[in-house]
Structure 1
Amino acid sequence: MGQVLERTPSLIEEAWKRLTLRKSVDDMQIEINENPLNRPLNFFHLNTLGLGAIIGAGIFILSGNVAANFAGPSVIISFLIGSLVAFLAALSYAEMASMVPIAGSSYSYIYTTMGEFCAWLIGWNLCLEYTCAVAAVSVGWSTYVASFIEFIGNTSAEYRILSAPIAWNNTSENFYLTGAYFNLPAILSSRT
């Protein structure tokens, strides 16, 4: 037991070194040159993918809600503030891309500056971000499908397959059961 306690500082020090392990830009460039990536997407493809990810379905749903309930006519100022923040984020990414000119985006930037563990956290946070973004866009798209069904069919759409089984009540600030089974259009759109 005494030997373990004596080795504890060195074990912690070794773990800390492993968690903060960094690679230089040159080492990462050598790895990339050893295993070149297949790059089938061109400039047009990447721009349309980026615009699709930025705009999505949320801009059509949320901007009307914000204008009606929160900002009113000053929604233009809200968009200007949001565009300024997006512009500053784009400048930050451009700066990092010029300093670390390798593939991998945020993961590579964090790996070279802060270490392996922080890069691992950023990688999983990006996965969580993309999962939540897909879910939000899918639910927004589902409301368009329900409106389309009601418009074309002159009938109300079945809410039990067009709504989530659990929803949030803003007034009482708690979750409640809606009686729905699942949101079928959202599930189908997130699978494509």
Structure 2
Amino acid sequence: MDSLSERRGINCTDAEWDEYIEMPQVRSNETPSEWMKRIWERLMYFRENNLLPYQSKKYLEARKLIRWPDGSSSAPEIGIAICFSCDRLVYTGQRKKNIGNYNHIGMERHWKFSCTGNKYCGVNYEEYLKIKQKSNSGYDYDNKYALHRYELWKCNAIKRLKRAREVGRKIQAINIISQKWLEYMYKPDGLCASELALHYQLLWAVREEMRQINTV
């Protein structure tokens, strides 16, 4: 007879499956960061050995175990997940479907705007072009989902590039200001020299006031 894990289409043993079921549960006295730290070693073991089920291949949603008076229990999501692309905690909010796939819309928002990794994409440029060459009528679910993930990654990459350029412009501006300051210091001529003299005059005035206060 097949094990429960085999019937679920995963590679883990029944004991590992039981461990996986408990892994998302945040204890009552835990913060999300403490939960992530507690399960991290075993979570990495499951990820590295491909033991996670399909719905947990890209992220793991945190859950809170609730026990009811009749003896039953439930473990609903609490709006927090671990992203496997950047290994960070992500606030996901309310769970919804998105364009026919079951990824949390909060995770897709994270992948689109904030994620620093790209494992969630799973599609390289050559594969993307092959799919795009098909007619729309030839797209199956996997094709549509692959294109969707690639578009998320592309949007993320463009935003990161813009941020990098903005940082580069700021660094360039700082370098220019530093260079100008050195020019003022070592080439005090013309208008620059007069501005520098005024600057030092003000500094000396402040210093004199401080000296007078200290001698009172």
- TM-score normalised by structure 2 residue count: 0.21
Mark the structure with the bigger radius of gyration. 2
> RCO (CA 8 Å, sep 6+): is it higher in 1 or 2?
1
> Higher helix fraction: Structure 1 or Structure 2?
1
- TM-score normalised by structure 1 residue count: 0.23
